[in-house]
């Protein structure tokens, strides 16, 4: 009998404890697992969205169709939506169930005037007239992926709204490739009402495999500056150079002197690139032309360095022209988009989240600074921000960099990117609350 009672007590205890156990297991189900579950469910739809956007690329500020898709989904997910911000930008505001801070995520929407050669069933067939020539239009920089990842994160966090302490603002940006979209959105008040205390972004990166995230803390992308110079000489017969001022020889000296300038006048720790991309002069072999024109791109980091390099370049060009007895050259020097600065403190703060969601620390890779440009830099100038590299090469697949007509990011990077960034945004807001 004793045994019988013991068994009854044990069974009763088990029955009593079962709901408690279920509740406990639900509680211990981590936020990461919840995110993973939602991401798994929405992935087929995200792939569909990405392929649709990929098939219908749009250029610069003319991203009306893509912006329409973004606005439609964000509304469906229950976000407050603002359209036509910075011409065709879209903002989605997701207010969480708990009070808290504001954090932003930016994704860009525009494509490139490149004829796609991936041979994919959903490859772009769009043709446009660009600079007077017909060309294809392609999402060759992965902005279709960025837009889709933005929608994925918005959907995940909208589903987890109740546990979200604060607000997430999504910036779907046009015209990144021409370097104007981020600036236009910020000028149009994108960073006000609500104003985020930090902004995050991704760029797909063929240099990393799917499943890996790359990070370059500090300066990650460069100032994109340049100049157009016309060197004036004195034209004449090729057989009598002493009666001319040869602008080809002068311009050639300038090209070489600028390379020496980098090697001899710039601190090696201050990354600087000066490249001649265009050199035009003359018509025939026996004519010394009156002018020569050169165009260069100049890449540096930080405001101080770009100003210093500008001064040195102008001094060099003018000095060489003067020493050759040539007239004053025409120099049109311009500052393009500034360098992109990944806030080291913010990056450091989010490291544990990134590593935790990646599963293995070795999947987070230290990226080298690049001399390329990205207009997310305008966000980084206004708010502490971090842009991560989202690995998008399937192991064993051929390597094609962004802007290649063969560029074909592995679609598995989409759910992966959504998962990691949803956790980053959520953890960021939680950390801000804990700090209070």
- Catalytic annotation, residues: 110, 176
Q: Which is nearer to Zn ion, 290 or 336 (CB)?
A: 336
Q: To the nearest whole angstrom, how small is the minimum distance from the Cβ of residue 387 to Zn ion? A: 10
End-to-end CA distance of the chain: 59
- Cβ atoms of 66 and 168 within 8 Å: the answer is no
Q: Looking at beta carbons only, is 238 or 336 nearer to Zn ion?
A: 336
Closest CA to 354 of 417, 432, 434, 415: 417
Smallest gap from Cβ 402 to Zn ion, in A, equals 5
In the complex, least distance from residue 403 CB atom to Zn ion, rounded to whole angstroms: 6
Report the nearest approach of Zn ion to the CB of residue 51 (Å): 19
Of 279 and 400, nearer to Zn ion (C-beta) is: 400
Alpha-carbon distance of 156 to 73, in angstroms, equals 12
Please say which residue, 205 or 294, places its beta carbon nearer to Zn ion: 205
Q: For Zn ion, which is the closer residue by CB, 327 or 401?
A: 401
Q: Which is nearer to Zn ion, 173 or 209 (CB)?
A: 173
Q: Which residue is nearest to Zn ion (CB)?
A: 141
In angstroms, what is the minimal distance from the CB of 20 to Zn ion? 51
User: Closer CB to Zn ion, residue 35 or residue 141?
Assistant: 141
Strands 165-173 and 98-108: parallel
Question: Strands 340-342, 291-300: parallel, antiparallel or unpaired by DSSP?
Answer: unpaired
Q: At how many degrees (to 10) do helices 413-435 and 31-55 cross? A: 130
Helix (H) or strand (E) holding 70: helix 64-76
Q: CB burial class (10 A; 0-12, 13-18, 19+) of residue 40?
A: exposed
3-state secondary structure of 1: coil
Closest CB 374 distance from Zn ion, rounded Å: 7
Contact footprint for Zn ion (CB under 5 A):
141
CB of 110 to Zn ion, least distance (A): 9
Render 338-385 in DSSP notation, one character per residue: PPEEE-HHHHHHHHHHHHHHHSSGGGEEEPPP-S---TTHHHHHHS-E
Minimum separation from the CB atom of position 401 to Zn ion (A) = 10
> What's 174's DSSP letter?
-
Q: Crossing angle, helix 64-76 and helix 31-55, to 10 degrees?
A: 150
Q: Which is nearer to Zn ion, 141 or 387 (CB)?
A: 141
Cβ neighbour number for residue 68 with a 10 Å cutoff: 13
Contact (Cβ atoms closer than 8 angstroms) between residue 368 and residue 219: no
Asked if residue 299 has a cis previous peptide bond (ω within 30° of 0), the answer is no
Q: Tell me the C-alpha distance between 203 and 374, whole Å.
A: 9
């Amino acid at each position: 009998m004793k045994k019988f009672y013991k068994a009854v007590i044990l069974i009763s205890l088990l029955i009593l404890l079962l709901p408690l156990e279920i509740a406990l297991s639900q509680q211990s189900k981590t936020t990461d697992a919840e995110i993973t579950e939602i991401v798994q469910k929405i992935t087929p739809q995200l792939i569909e969205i990405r392929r649709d956007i990929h098939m219908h690329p749009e250029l610069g500020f003319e991203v009306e169709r893509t912006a329409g898709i973004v606005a439609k989904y964000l509304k469906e997910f229950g976000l407050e939506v603002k359209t036509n911000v910075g011409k065709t930008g879209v903002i989605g505001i997701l207010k969480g169930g708990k009070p808290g801070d504001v954090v932003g995520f930016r994704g860009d929407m525009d494509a490139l005037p490149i004829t796609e050669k991936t041979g994919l069933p959903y490859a772009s067939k769009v043709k446009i007239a660009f600079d007077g020539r017909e060309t294809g239009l392609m999402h060759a920089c992965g902005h279709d992926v960025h837009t889709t990842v933005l929608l994925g994160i918005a959907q995940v966090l909208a589903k987890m709204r109740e546990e979200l302490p604060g607000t997430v603002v999504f910036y779907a940006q046009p015209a990144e490739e021409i370097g104007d979209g981020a600036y236009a959105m910020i000028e149009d008040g994108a960073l006000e009402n609500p104003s985020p205390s930090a902004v995050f972004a991704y760029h797909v990166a063929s240099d990393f495999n799917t499943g890996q995230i790359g990070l370059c803390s500090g300066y990650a992308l460069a100032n994109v500056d340049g100049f157009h110079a016309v060197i004036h000489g004195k034209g004449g017969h090729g057989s009598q150079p002493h009666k001319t001022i040869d602008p080809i020889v002068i311009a050639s000296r300038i090209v070489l002197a600028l390379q020496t300038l980098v090697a001899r006048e710039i601190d090696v720790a201050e990354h600087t690139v000066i490249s001649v991309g265009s050199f035009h002069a003359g018509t025939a072999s026996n004519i010394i032309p009156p002018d020569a024109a050169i165009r260069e791109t100049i890449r540096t980091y930080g405001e101080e360095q770009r100003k210093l390099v500008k001064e040195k370049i102008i001094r060099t060009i003018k000095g060489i022209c003067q020493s050759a007895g040539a007239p004053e050259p025409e120099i049109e020097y311009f500052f393009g988009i500034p360098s992109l600065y990944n806030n080291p403190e913010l990056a450091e703060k989010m490291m544990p989240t990134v590593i935790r969601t990646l599963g293995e620390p070795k999947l987070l890779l230290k990226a080298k600074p690049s001399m390329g440009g990205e207009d997310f830099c305008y966000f980084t100038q206004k708010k502490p921000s971090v842009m991560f590299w989202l690995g998008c090469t399937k192991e064993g697949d051929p390597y094609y960099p962004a802007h290649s007509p063969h560029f074909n990011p592995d679609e598995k990077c989409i759910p992966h990117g959504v998962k990691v960034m949803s956790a980053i945004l959520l953890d960021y807001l939680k950390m801000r609350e804990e700090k209070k």
